[in-house]
Amino acid sequence: MLATIVLFSCNDRRHPGRIYMPDMTYSRAYEANAPNDLAAKGINYLPFPVPGTIRRGDLFPYTLSNDSNGYKLAIDIKDPLPPLDSVGLNEAHRLFNINCAICHGPNLDAQGPLAGKVGGIANLKMPQYVKEPEGQMFHVVTYGKNNMGSYASQLDRRQRWMVIQFIKSEQAKISAPKDSVAAGSGTTKDSTMAKK
Amino acid sequence: MSTIHNSVLVMHYYRRFIVRTITYITFLLLFFFQNFLYAQNGEQIFKANCATCHKPDKDFTGPALAHARDREPTKEWAYKWVNHVDEMITTDPYAKQLFAKFNSKMTQFSDLKKEDIKAVLDWADSYTPPAAPGGAVKGGEAAPEDNSLLYGLLTLVLAVVALILLQVNSNLKKLSDEKQGIRTPNPVPFYRNKAYLLLAVIVVFLIGGYFTIEGAVGLGRMKGYQPIQPIYYSHKVHAGTNQISCLYCHGGAQDSKHANIPSVNVCMNCHMAIKEYTGEPVTTDEGISINGTAEIQKLYQYSGWNPTSKTYDHPGKPIEWVRIHNLPDHVYFNHSQHVKVGQQQCQTCHGPIQEMGQVKQFAELSMGWCINCHRETKVQFNDDKGNGNKFYSIYEKFHEDIKNKKYDSVTVEKIGGTECQKCHY
């Protein structure tokens, strides 16, 4: 009877309830996303990778700085990935839908669910974004610009380039059939800008 | 004769009247329709070009468009500005003033004609905001009443009445027996009646046993656990109303064992721009109303962001969210294996998270619950189109068996999903 009362008394939704054997339930090892006292104990612990190291199989780090000069220099940065096959493009499309489409819209027209709440969303179908060099796009995705934040923590370098390839392939679809002349003038403009 | 002539005249008169009315109405309709078309046009141009930075009725990234022409130096200023932003931003005093206020330069729209700009501004001047989504409707819904307590009480009362009636009946019987001269042995009081006592013991044993077992089964299960979090973060607003993908914030779920708790910089991706909550009123389950804008202010405290100066000007600290889902340490669970390989929806285990204001544990997370899903879930093998997962290509035998109609599908159990060592090692 006493056991019944004890067992039944902890039925409050604000409390996690009781368990049989706490030492088998709660981890003795440090868990992810939980605070730890290793630094306070003087134990050598690095929350970040060692500076200068690259994860196996990862792309080389992006070294341009987050300022207007870096943005200017980013014009010359080229996509290190080979062109994506259809499976890669599908994956890039999926990443775009998760991370970008909430603002830039599934059709790249800045009509995502957050349009009207976040200001100054780039309409990626506009000529200046169709012409935007891929390196500058990478710079913006890496560091953010105006109201856009940095996506470096959500997309790794390879994924960022994949998403940019996807955007460029979608932009090619809208600009190509209309006027091939405009696209031609765009490339000449880019090359002159690169010369500066 | 004269009457016929008269009626013809009257008919003629009516016909003229009707024709004239129809013409008037047609003209009126045409007039309105034209106006309507014009307004639509303005709205369309606005949505295609301006809406990302301007709102018709209030300041956004750029100034409100309604009555912009009245504020500007001349009525014609706006038309020139839209086509010559790059030039005027450095020369025009009013443009410089605007730039100082909003701190962002407008994109130049060289292609927009004066009529287009006029249509947009006319539309903005006559814009009336749509009525706020019904706030009064919310919170008025009472939860369906739980009647089981009422029924229990009723049963108890009826049982007591029945007992009293039985007692009365036996007393009356005794009286009538005495009157007729039949002698009966002295009755045993009900609290010493063995049958009653046995019944009472059995009832107490059953009820006690039921609750003991229920309580023991519930030990270590936290279904329905809904702690109070440091910030009232509503999944209903974010994942429901605003349709943000679960993986936007919890991207770790597809890459690692853990569905990571997003760091504050992920929140700030949107909340650099979204400073106030303007959606439907939010109330907790207890009916306490939540001020969304104040909750966003809390986020700014944690992140160190100053929304006025738009810089991080004080040291930030992590938000200490309270963990809800906790498997015992002797169970191995990997998110990526379920999300990426098994292609499960988050909602399968976490419930209708896009409808939860405060998150609570939806599933039991008991071993029986896990095993049951592993018995029922069908494995999505790699198909000819490259969908599904290639990880399972080692189970060629099953493909053959399916082709030979031995099975129609393969459950997780058949590929070892109920082996003890899969989760306990």
Q: How do the domains of chain B map onto residue ranges? A: 52-144, 226-363, 366-425
> What are the pLDDT digits (tens) for B141-186?
444 566 788 999 999 999 999 989 988 998 888 888 888 877 767 7
Please report the pLDDT score of residue A195 as a whole number: 36
Residues of B whose CB is below 8 A from A150:
265, 269
Residues of A whose CB is below 8 A from B53:
119-120
- Report the C-alpha gap between B269 and A117 in whole angstroms: 13
Residue with the larger pLDDT of the pair A67 and B9: A67
CB contact under 8 A, B386 and A149: no
Q: What is the 3-state secondary structure (H, E, C) of B331-351?
A: CCCCHHHHHHHCCCCHHHHHC
Mean pLDDT, range B20-44, rounded to an integer: 63
Residues of B whose CB is below 8 A from A149:
265, 268-270, 272
Please report the pLDDT score of residue B141 as a whole number: 44
- Report the C-alpha gap between A99 and B174 in whole angstroms: 86
How far B165 CA sits from the closest chain A CA (Å)? 32
> What are the pLDDT digits (tens) for B292-337?
999 999 999 999 999 888 888 889 888 999 999 988 888 999 999 8
- Report the C-alpha gap between B420 and B425 in whole angstroms: 8
For B248, which of A8, A20, A102 is closest by C-beta distance?
A102
Extended beta strands in A5-100, E state: none
φ, ψ (nearest 5 deg) of residue A70: -60, -40
- Report the C-alpha gap between B275 and B298 in whole angstroms: 11
Question: Where residue B369 falls among pLDDT bands split at 50, 70, 90?
Answer: very high
Please report the pLDDT score of residue B209 as a whole number: 94
Please report the pLDDT score of residue B161 as a whole number: 95
Rg (C-alpha) for chain A, rounded Å, is 24
Please give the DSSP secondary-structure letter assigned to residue B282. Answer: E
> What are the pLDDT digits (tens) for B395-411?
777 777 888 888 788 88
Which of A151, A153, A156 is best to mutate for the B interface (most B CBs within 10 A)? A153
Residue B43, judged by CB atoms within 10 A of its CB (0-12, 13-18, 19+), counts as middle
CB contact under 8 A, A153 and B265: yes
Q: Show which of residues 261-280 on chain B sit within 8 Å of chain A, judged by CB atoms.
A: 261, 263, 265-266, 268-270, 272-274, 278
**Regions in chain A scoring below 70 on pLDDT:** 1-11, 175-196
Name the percent of chain B lying above pLDDT 90: 24
B-chain residue closest to A109, CA distance: B48
CA-CA distances (angstroms) from residue B132 to B40, B64, B355, B424?
22, 19, 21, 53
Side chain identity, residue B319: I
CA-CA distances (angstroms) from residue A139 to A143, B172, B174?
6, 99, 101
Residue B44 has pLDDT above 70, yes or no: yes
Contact yes or no for B360/B226 (Cβ under 8 A): yes
Please report the pLDDT score of residue A43 as a whole number: 84
- Report the C-alpha gap between A15 and A19 in whole angstroms: 12
Please report the pLDDT score of residue A93 as a whole number: 94
Q: Which CATH number fits domain A68-175: 2.60.120.260, 1.10.3720.10, 3.40.50.12280, 1.10.760.10?
A: 1.10.760.10
Mean pLDDT of chain B: 81
Q: What is the 3-state secondary structure (H, E, C) of B283-323?
A: ECCCCCEECHHHHHHHHHHHHCEECCCCEECCCCCCCCCCC
pTM: 0.70
Residues of B whose CB is below 8 A from A144:
269
- Describe chain A by its helix, strand, coil percentages, rounded to 5: 45, 0, 55
Side chain identity, residue B41: N
> What are the pLDDT digits (tens) for B116-149?
888 888 878 877 776 654 444 444 444 456 678 8
For B53, which of A1, A16, A119 is closest by C-beta distance?
A119
CB contact under 8 A, A102 and B244: yes
Contacts of A106 (CB under 8 A, 6+ apart): A97, A112
Range among B77-91, B302-316, B379-393, B397-411 with highest mean pLDDT value: B302-316
**Superfamily of domain B52-144 in the CATH hierarchy:** Cytochrome c-like domain (1.10.760.10)
A-chain residue closest to B318, CA distance: A35
Indicate the domain borders of chain A: 68-175
Mean pLDDT, range B345-359, rounded to an integer: 91
